[in-house]
Amino acid sequence: MNLAHRMSKFEKMKFLKTIGVLSFLVLLMYSCKTSNHSATTMENIHRKWMLVEYNGFTKDELVKLEANMDLTKNSDVPNRHTAKMGCNGMFFTGEFNQGKAKFSGVGSTMMYCEGRMKLEELFGKDLPKMNQYKIEGHFLTLTNGITSMKFVAADWD
């Protein structure tokens, strides 16, 4: 006689219940293990960000200038990103890895816009100095320990 024939109905139910609970626990442990925090952060950083706090500028000034940084992935050049701080289109290379940031190759178009240049000049000088990033909810903060830039996700309502 095989095992299934020797087990009582009660034992069969208990066995199936135990298998079900164990399967659930294995599935739960696997799903927790694969939800990698750094992968989630990397997905979240690659979006458009609106500048909301920086170097004494008011939020109203930043909104009026439509100050933003676009970190969405570019399939042609993955680490190449853009920004606009009120006048010129800006471009740069940005790398992000576990809270560390590296910005280089910052440049821009060369137009002059009356009353709209101060933010752009400061941002262009400070961005390459930013070496850390943190995402909290819908906010991105770039810092070098002295200067900080705070952004909110553009797709957040």
Predicted confidence (pLDDT) per residue in 52-82, tens digit:
999 999 999 999 999 999 999 888 888 999 9
pLDDT tens by residue, 1-57: 555 556 676 676 676 666 655 555 555 555 544 444 444 555 689 999 999 999 999
pLDDT tens by residue, 86-143: 999 999 999 999 999 999 999 999 999 998 999 999 999 999 999 999 999 999 999 9
Q: What local confidence, expressed as pLDDT, does residue 15 receive?
A: 63
* Helical H segments across the chain, by residue range: 3-6, 9-34, 37-45, 59-64, 118-126
| Residue spans of beta strands (DSSP E) within 77-131 | 80-84, 89-97, 100-108
Amino acid in the structure at residue 106: V
Q: What local confidence, expressed as pLDDT, does residue 74 receive?
A: 83
Q: What local confidence, expressed as pLDDT, does residue 78 receive?
A: 85
